[in-house]
Amino acid sequence: MNFITDNLLAVRERIGKACATSHRAPESVQLLAVSKKFNAATVQLAIAAGLTDFGENYLQEGLDKIAALPREKLSWHFIGPVQSNKTRGLAEQFDWVHSVDRLKIAQRLSEQRPASLPPLNVCVQVNISGEASKSGCAPVEALALCQAVAALPRLKLRGLMAIPAPVADGADPRAPFRALRELFEQTRASSEVGAGFDTLSAGMSDDLEAAIAEGATMVRIGTAIFGSRSSKGL
């Protein structure tokens, strides 16, 4: 077994325990392996360990790996901030974009998604903790943005994504995820959003249990699978 196989077993065990505590089926939580800053050879080890969904933060790095690895059976997710001048590469090569935070980005992705490909899966990113340093729309803007995105061709609105700020010592670690879930449920109730609104992308290596307890359907795990990042992983 390679080291990723060992790490993956531990991560799946954590997910299983979190689901059991929350009375959820383990298969209700999808594991997204965050492979940013790890090279294609390392991702190949992850593929050998059984992983198929990979998350990237940087466009060119992601495009290089997509080109270097077998395309079939893999799904590539973009989870970093989206710059307007980088949308074409995302629209043409990725399967998911989790970080749509304004209508202009969604419109460009819609216009640039090739008609020969399936619709691009997108999530609206919400700045659930109101951090000035984080991307994402304000919670009060999420419903209107989701309604607008859902109306665009060649996109499939799947849900919400967030990166909550770490909570203060003694505070409830589930609180920001609870706020996100409540927003997700309110948005899903809108008839304009569509039946495919089924994804709550939240939770990382340090807080996946809190996210799962509050309904996350996809957790984005990097360090717990690949180890700590450094320039050696590039």
Q: What is the pLDDT of residues 220-231, one digit of tens each?
A: 999 999 998 764
Whose tokens are 């059976």? That residue is 73
CATH number of the domain that residue 35 is part of: 3.20.20.10
Q: Which amino acid is at 83?
A: Q
Percent of the chain with pLDDT over 70: 97
Model pLDDT, residue 192: 94
Model pLDDT, residue 230: 61
Task: Output the average pLDDT for the chain.
Answer: 95
Residues of the domain holding 131: 3-233
CA atoms within 13 A on the CB side of 86: 16
Asked whether residue 22 carries a pLDDT value surpassing 80, the answer given is yes
* CA separation, residue 165 to residues 55, 108, 123, 145, 173 (Å): 20, 29, 19, 22, 10
Higher pLDDT, 101 or 166: 101
Residue pair 102/138 in contact by the 8 Å Cβ criterion = no
Asked whether residue 74 carries a pLDDT value surpassing 80, the answer given is yes
Average pLDDT over residues 152-156: 98
Rounded CA gap, 90 and 123, in Å? 13
Percent of the chain with pLDDT over 90: 88
Sequence-ordered strand ranges (E) for the chain: 30-34, 53-56, 75-78, 96-100, 120-125, 155-161, 199-201, 218-221
Rounded CA gap, 87 and 111, in Å? 10
Verdict on whether the full-model pTM lies above 0.85: yes
Model pLDDT, residue 134: 87
Average pLDDT over residues 32-53: 96
Model pLDDT, residue 194: 79
CA atoms within 13 A on the CB side of 10: 13
Rounded CA gap, 162 and 217, in Å? 12
Structurally, how many domains does the chain consist of? 1
pLDDT-based confidence at residue 169 (cuts at 50, 70, 90): confident
Asked whether residue 202 carries a pLDDT value surpassing 60, the answer given is yes
Q: What angle do CA 119, 204, 200 make, to 5 degrees?
A: 40
pLDDT-based confidence at residue 1 (cuts at 50, 70, 90): low
Rounded CA gap, 71 and 74, in Å? 6
Average pLDDT over residues 32-55: 96
Residue pair 193/148 in contact by the 8 Å Cβ criterion = no
